[in-house]
Structure 1
Amino acid sequence: MSYNGLKVAFLHPRLEGGGAERVSLTTARLFSKWGIHSTFIGSKHNPNEFVLPEGFNAEIYCLPNQETFYTEDNKAALIDYLAEQNIRIAFACYMEGQFFEDWRKYSSCKLVYWNHSKPFWEMSYRLELGELQAKYSIKKWIEWNLLGYKGKTRNSEQYQRLKEEHLRDIHLFDKYIVLCPEYKAEIAKALSLTEEEKRKVISMTNTIEIEAAPNLNKRKEIVYVGRLSLAPKRFDRLLNVWREIQDKLPDWELKFYGAGPDEWIFHKLVRKYRLKRIHLCGYETDLKRIYNDAAIICMTSSFEGWPMVLVEAQSSGVVPISFDCCAGVESIIGASQCAGRLVKPFDLKAYADTLLELCQNDTLRHNLQQACLTKRLDYAPDINDDRWKKLFDELLISDNCHENSGK
């Protein structure tokens, strides 16, 4: 089947420089080679972070209400725009069920949900956010520990309600994309999916543009790349680790790239722990510049989906170390730790010992660097070609059948 002239859309609440947005850009670049036109739709666009490459078969459309994506005026504008532009497939990269449920009543556009996190991440996030807020606020501590908020968040009713929402979403969308086969298996088991429902769920590996000849002569730099929010990124764990090993690594520096609502906690902990050779470098749009110099990238999150910073770092010969917090991270680094280092969650001493070994053992780091350059081929843009074509064929054939049956 030819896809020349097909129009698709990627829906993001905000068009910024996050991992999900970078995946959409890489995917649209692939689609462009097949003659597919992509439109990126969001309520707000940050032109400094989200930039379309020149000659790209794509455009950006901002919805009228820039405060939040999920409003009635944005819904109406979105329905009209998709119809006017004859966009036949939309990829929703964030979820608000009622918004899309209402939309389905008025739009014939095929709808695909692209889950960029691990299944049922909401429960993990709510629990961690509650614990952390209680740690830094007396009011939140009282609410969490004395007024029963902790028990309400942990109870089985919450989890059951979340499972019901996920099952509703699988029925609501034409296809449901997850980031690795393990996530599909987890969803299928938790929701007791039928064979027909399982066929809606597709595993699609996130891809990157492979750098031809990355610099392998690295500086003694350890980097953290991500949002400065405690839940779920937990940058405070890395600060604790650095406190334990900084005096043993006098030639090494630790650099943080990112911004976020908990930056004040970062500065507070740096002062409290009297940390040395640590730099907060702010948000950086040119990640290749970071990875050109860095030797090691650290991740200390409580959970992730398929962290693009690890994949992009590997592609530049930067060795990753992370807690073994989800199937996505394990898949990237390898269960045998062939392309990085995995640490038992959330053992700070084991993390510190592993990071110290990576810094001090040049041979180990060099061998892992070479393994990363091999592993990055698993993320080449064309690895999903057959999956994408199968998805398009199924959606467009069913769309044509529906149109013909209505004549």
Structure 2
Amino acid sequence: MPEENMRSILFLISRYPGYGGIERVTTLLANQWVKKCKVSICSIIQQAEDELIAKLNSDVKFYKMPYGGLKKSQENVDFLKSIVTNENVDIVIYQDSYFPCQYLLSSIKDCRSWKIIEVEHSSPSGFEIQYKEYVKSIPCWDIYHRFKSWFYNQKSLSNEKRNRRFIYGICDKYVMLAEGLISQCQKYGHIDDNSKFEIIGNPISMDNSSATLSLKKKECLFVGRLDSMKGIDKLMRIWAIVESRVKDWTLVIVGDGIMMPAVKNAIAHYRLEHVCLEGFQADVKRYYQTASIFCMCSIYEGFPMVLPEAMGFGVVPIVFNSFAALDDILVDGEDGVKVTAFDEEAYSENLIAMMSDDVRLKMMQSKALENSRKFCVSSILEKWDELFKNL
């Protein structure tokens, strides 16, 4: 295809490069599309640039906004306009919905011949779920802090409503990562129309061609940030129950965060002897290869890439049923287990039952490996190609 007729795609993202799932998906898609399109990435904030930018195809153009903050910047507006003009951009993919960067879209909306695609990577109900969980920790008599929490939750919901309504109005397509998230987006965005919604899940961003079940050990695996949203405090209480009854399994925790001290305190408090703290790891492939069960206790998620990634290595997920995308990722009892959110006793019982039934575990490992193929790169790229054709 002559270069002047090539599709030109610009990813607009608040942080890139970075260690998160959004950044990994952006890298994967950019590296695939640059084989037949012009691809650019523009970010406001960068994380571990020297290490992570090496994973990006050198043909992908990477731009850094001159102002590295999330407040409105005319300098950033002018910079973005120059990119879309110089790169002859015809598709802008906005990879955020909850960062205050929508003004950048507003700055180019009236003079555009390009299409805008919004991709919602989080759960629209996240703020509400987080609020309800937090309120449980406030005593009934503490009216002041209960009111204060309610007030800030209402403010957050109002901001989210305004942001989503604006983005939905300005974009040409609004991509959700799972079908169940559409109704949430409409509810929290107060959006009546649904004609712009498309469903495209995230691809597995890790090469699992060498995955084998022969390396499996008696290991449970947690991968993620150590914070309350990921439910690491719940997992520590669950594991205390499990370890009191099962002595030959190990919990491997890969990740770091503000709750690392609390995790270490829980290990000491419960006198846990079978927990391995691995800290942050840029490459978690080797942990997927040996783990048998994947533990997720999140309060909420959008579309957690770690689940299909783990399943792609035959790691069976046990997950609190706390987010809509879970139905799109696993089949309860076949390739994973859903547990009523946030029943810690039921979770521990399901975990112990899985550990105690080697036949069932091996069967579900094989199914997880097989069913994860629907998230392979080629399947997801086909959906994107179809969307591009219909713009």
Cα contact 2:80–2:104 (8 A) shared by 1: no
Match of 1:271 among 262, 268, 272: 268
| Amino acid of the structure 1 residue aligned with 2:120 | N
Which position in structure 2 is the counterpart of 1:365? 361
TM-score (norm: length of structure 2): 0.87
Moved more, 292-301 or 110-119: 110-119
Cα contact 2:115–2:172 (8 A) shared by 1: yes
Which position in structure 2 is the counterpart of 1:116? 121
Which position in structure 2 is the counterpart of 1:58? 60
| Amino acid of the structure 2 residue aligned with 1:370 | S
Partners of 1:9 and 1:252 in 2: how far apart? Answer: 46
Secondary structure at the aligned position of 2:258 is classed as coil
Cα distance change on mapping 1:189 and 1:152 into 2, 3 Å: closer
Which position in structure 2 is the counterpart of 1:11? 12
Which position in structure 2 is the counterpart of 1:404? none
Which position in structure 1 is the counterpart of 2:178? 180
Secondary structure at the aligned position of 1:208 is classed as coil
Cα distance change on mapping 1:267 and 1:204 into 2, 3 Å: same
Moved more, 276-285 or 160-169: 160-169
Secondary structure at the aligned position of 1:289 is classed as helix
Q: Does 1:347 align with 2:352?
A: no
Secondary structure at the aligned position of 1:222 is classed as strand
Which position in structure 2 is the counterpart of 1:74? 76
Partners of 2:56 and 2:182 in 1: how far apart? Answer: 36
Q: Does 1:304 align with 2:270?
A: no
Cα contact 1:316–1:373 (8 A) shared by 2: yes
Which position in structure 1 is the counterpart of 2:151? 152
Q: Does 1:337 align with 2:342?
A: no
| Amino acid of the structure 1 residue aligned with 2:298 | S
Cα distance change on mapping 1:349 and 1:129 into 2, 3 Å: closer
Partners of 1:282 and 1:304 in 2: how far apart? Answer: 21
Cα contact 1:111–1:174 (8 A) shared by 2: yes
Higher helix share: 1
Cα contact 1:9–1:41 (8 A) shared by 2: no
Deviation per CA, 1:94-137: give whole Å up to 9, x if none.
Answer: 232642353235762432211011223232234445666x69xx
Cα contact 1:120–1:162 (8 A) shared by 2: no
Match of 2:108 among 101, 104, 114: 104
Moved more, 252-261 or 316-325: 252-261
| Amino acid of the structure 2 residue aligned with 1:39 | I
Q: Does 1:289 align with 2:290?
A: no
Moved more, 284-293 or 232-241: 284-293
Cα distance change on mapping 1:50 and 1:68 into 2, 3 Å: farther
| Amino acid of the structure 1 residue aligned with 2:198 | I
| Amino acid of the structure 1 residue aligned with 2:255 | G
Secondary structure at the aligned position of 2:62 is classed as strand
Shift of 1:357: 1.4
Partners of 1:2 and 1:119 in 2: how far apart? Answer: 41
Cα contact 1:228–1:262 (8 A) shared by 2: yes
Matches within 5 A, 1:161-240: 162-188=160-186, 193=191, 197-208=193-204, 211-216=208-213, 217-230=215-228, 232-240=229-237
Secondary structure at the aligned position of 1:327 is classed as coil
Which position in structure 1 is the counterpart of 2:23? 21
Secondary structure at the aligned position of 1:316 is classed as coil
| Amino acid of the structure 2 residue aligned with 1:8 | I
Cα distance change on mapping 1:43 and 1:281 into 2, 3 Å: same
Partners of 1:91 and 1:241 in 2: how far apart? Answer: 40
Moved more, 180-189 or 290-299: 180-189
Secondary structure at the aligned position of 2:325 is classed as helix
Partners of 1:297 and 1:342 in 2: how far apart? Answer: 12
Matches within 5 A, 1:124-139: 124-128=129-133
Percent sequence identity is 26
Partners of 1:63 and 1:55 in 2: how far apart? Answer: 20
Moved more, 235-244 or 69-78: 69-78
Moved more, 219-228 or 64-73: 64-73
Shift of 1:322: 0.5
| Amino acid of the structure 2 residue aligned with 1:152 | F
Partners of 1:50 and 1:125 in 2: how far apart? Answer: 31
Shift of 1:174: 2.2
Cα distance change on mapping 1:253 and 1:352 into 2, 3 Å: same
For structure 2, the 5+ residue unaligned runs are none
Alpha-carbon RMSD: 2.9
Q: Does 1:32 align with 2:34?
A: yes
Which position in structure 2 is the counterpart of 1:314? 311
Shift of 1:40: 5.0
Shift of 1:48: 6.2
The size of the alignment, in residue pairs, is: 382
Secondary structure at the aligned position of 2:195 is classed as helix
Secondary structure at the aligned position of 1:90 is classed as strand
Cα distance change on mapping 1:11 and 1:268 into 2, 3 Å: farther
